[in-house]
Amino acid sequence: MIAAAIDQLSRAQVQRLIEDGHVTLAGTVATKAGAKVRLGDPIEVAVPAPEPLEVLPEPIPLVVLFEDADLIVVDKPAGLVVHPAAGHATGTLVNALLHHCKDLSGIGGVLRPGIVHRLDKDTSGVMVATKSDRAHAALTAAFAAKSRGEPGALDRTYLAITSPPPPLKAGTLRTLHGRHPVDRKRFSSKVASGKPAVTHYEVVDKQLDWALVRFRLETGRTHQIRVHAADHGWPLVGDPVYGHKPRTEKLAEVARALGRQALHAATLAFDHPATAAPLRFESPLPPDMQAALAALRS
């Protein structure tokens, strides 16, 4: 209800405001998002000013694909952490963006200014960050809707190398998605309860022991592609968390040389949050994955 009434706030942002005690219902601090509202009950929402940034700008090189007053689209290299966290206080994409932009949206909080989605440290490819609060609200809502599988203009495709190849030329993987029942740092599609996860895939190139596969996300769960591929028996080459023992010595050598999961965010498409113009960005396969494919084909 609140998110529908206030365009600048997404559902996730409203949830955080409720958790932090910034929403009152009929004069009482709201404690849960699902509280019942009676006709005529006043609702007050106090949106605090963005906290001062405590993350320092750093002159880290960026490959910028697009930039205007509302957003910036970059081609993130593998190995670059998106935002500061435990063990990664500096040297992140946020540090680089603060140096490059000077004017990132502060609504994302102290440690994540402008960040509306993320890629794993060792996943390369296209990412968007916001520079205005209106863009942050709009794209946060778009990514949240995508995570739930709702239709919209947001579209993401990835390229990955799997071993072995998928059994079919193309298909759709539909499962539940949740925390692994034993290892809580991992996720699994083999859970009794969880959120729905849907991944579409198409084989681009295929040999006996491996395949280059294009994935398209219908939902956006954490590690979704890596989990779906691994749980269906064809994990990503080089995946240190969900991967299996390489089937051949050549695959083992390729994985060691790659040093990361063979996953690349190849395209990102969405409507501009201010003009509604359709935007689409592409990132070519990075040199390390090209080298991996060349080694596998030789």
Query: Do the Cβ atoms of 70 and 36 come closer than 8 Å?
Result: no
| Long-range Cβ pairs for the range 22-30 (8 Å, 24+) | 22/46, 22/47, 22/48
75 tagged catalytic: no
Query: Do the Cβ atoms of 153 and 223 come closer than 8 Å?
Result: no
The per-residue pLDDT for 222 is 92
What confidence tier does 112 reach under pLDDT thresholds 50, 70, 90?
A: low
What confidence tier does 108 reach under pLDDT thresholds 50, 70, 90?
A: low
What's the mean pLDDT in 255-281? 97
Summary count for the chain: helices (H), strands (E): 7, 13
Query: What digits encode the pLDDT tens for the residues 130-156?
Result: 998 889 989 999 999 988 888 888 999
Highest mean pLDDT among 42-46, 99-103, 262-266: 262-266
The per-residue pLDDT for 76 is 98
Token pair of 14 as six digits? 């409203």
Percent of the chain with pLDDT over 70: 83
Domains and CATH numbers, the chain: 2-45 (3.10.290.10), 50-147 (3.30.2350.10), 157-265+291-297 (3.30.2350.10)
Query: What digits encode the pLDDT tens for the residues 95-106?
Result: 999 889 876 766
What confidence tier does 39 reach under pLDDT thresholds 50, 70, 90?
A: confident
The per-residue pLDDT for 40 is 65
Beta pairing class for 71-76 and 23-25: unpaired
Token pair of 113 as six digits? 């200014």
Percent of the chain with pLDDT over 90: 63
Query: What digits encode the pLDDT tens for the residues 190-208?
Result: 999 999 999 999 999 999 9
Q: Comparing C-alpha atoms, which of 87, 60, 79 is closest to residue 119?
A: 79
Distance separating alpha carbons of residues 229 and 196, to the nearest angstrom: 15
The per-residue pLDDT for 111 is 57
The pLDDT of residue 35 is above 80: no
Instruction: Work out the number of other CB atoms within 10 angstroms of the CB of residue 260.
Output: 21
- Mean residue pLDDT of the chain comes to 88
Token pair of 151 as six digits? 């239709």
The pLDDT of residue 94 is above 80: yes
Active-site choice (120, 133, 209, 231):
120
The per-residue pLDDT for 133 is 86
pTM of the model: 0.80
Token pair of 46 as six digits? 């106090």
Distance separating alpha carbons of residues 83 and 80, to the nearest angstrom: 9
The per-residue pLDDT for 110 is 55
